[in-house]
Amino acid sequence: MSDILTLTMNPAVDLSVTADAVTPTHKIRCREERREAGGGGINVARVVRRLGGDCRALFPAGGSMGDLLVRAVEKEGIATVPVRIAGETRENFTATAAATGEQYRFVLPGPLLSEAEWRGCLDALECCETPRFVVSSGSLPLGCPASVNGEVARISRALGARLVVDSSGDSLKAALDEGVYLCKPSLRELEGVTRTKLPDRASQLAAAKDIVSAGRAAAVALTLGDEGALLVTAERAWFAPPIEVEVRSAVGAGDSFLAGFMWSLAGDLPWEECFAWAVAAGTAAVLTPGSELAERGDIEHLRRDRVLVEPLW
């Protein structure tokens, strides 16, 4: 049995290229073409696997692009639970301009899922051999209601699994209303749930504490981009300042952060240590080009030499 099962309702094949410059009208000659499995939960599973963890990935897959996605995930040693759909799995596109280092990201909406198809993903979750953790991460496809994450929370609870959610808007709210083990919002996502601006650390801590105190989550890991990250539980809170590194690509940093957290949780490490590994993994992701994710060696180096976690209470 895998400790971790990831659920990705809107997966993708991520295509990344490099060009000398990205300009309008003219043909843009590209090189360094890469195609990789993508989507929130799949990215989490990929980094967990790189760290030596065991996980399964559940996701809908359709058409030739869906077949490519399944092969790409399995190639990385991850067990798959694909749910067949009629539509074609989406392909996202990232172009990096070598002259400036600027990155252009094009994200497609993905296929329209019928009720039978998105419910098929929930049925597959119910039938899975029970994991210790279910990770629901990423956007929802067209046709899939925001209430799905609430149903995922109820199914996970019935299975005896702890649910971890990385989502936004009504989808995140639906999960929190049912109660989760850990949620990992960005600042924008937390402001969306609280419907208020959170301009400083005091307001951010208070918002996260309110979620925990209300029993909506056992812990909130708030990522703040180049301003660091916060972790809040019922008893403790920590801050991790940003680590100064050369940023090559921001793609997958949040997913890598969550993967570092999940790998540590599955290893029964304490909250503070899980947070430190998450920060190391999230930072390691920006060292890699295109849509590539964090590498194990970079994560271990950053955790050993660069990560600082400061207790706040």
Please give the positions annotated as active site. 255
Angle at 189 between CA 186 and CA 191, to 5 degrees: 110
Tell me the β-bridge partners of 56: 5, 79
Distance CA 77, CA 57 (A): 11
Positive or negative, the Cα torsion across 52, 187, 183, 79? negative
Residue type, 266: A
Nearest to 282 by CA among 94, 3, 106, 44: 44
Distance CA 78, CA 285 (A): 19
Here the tokens at position 109 are: 């909406």
Residue 244: CB partners within 8 Å, gap ≥ 6?
A: none
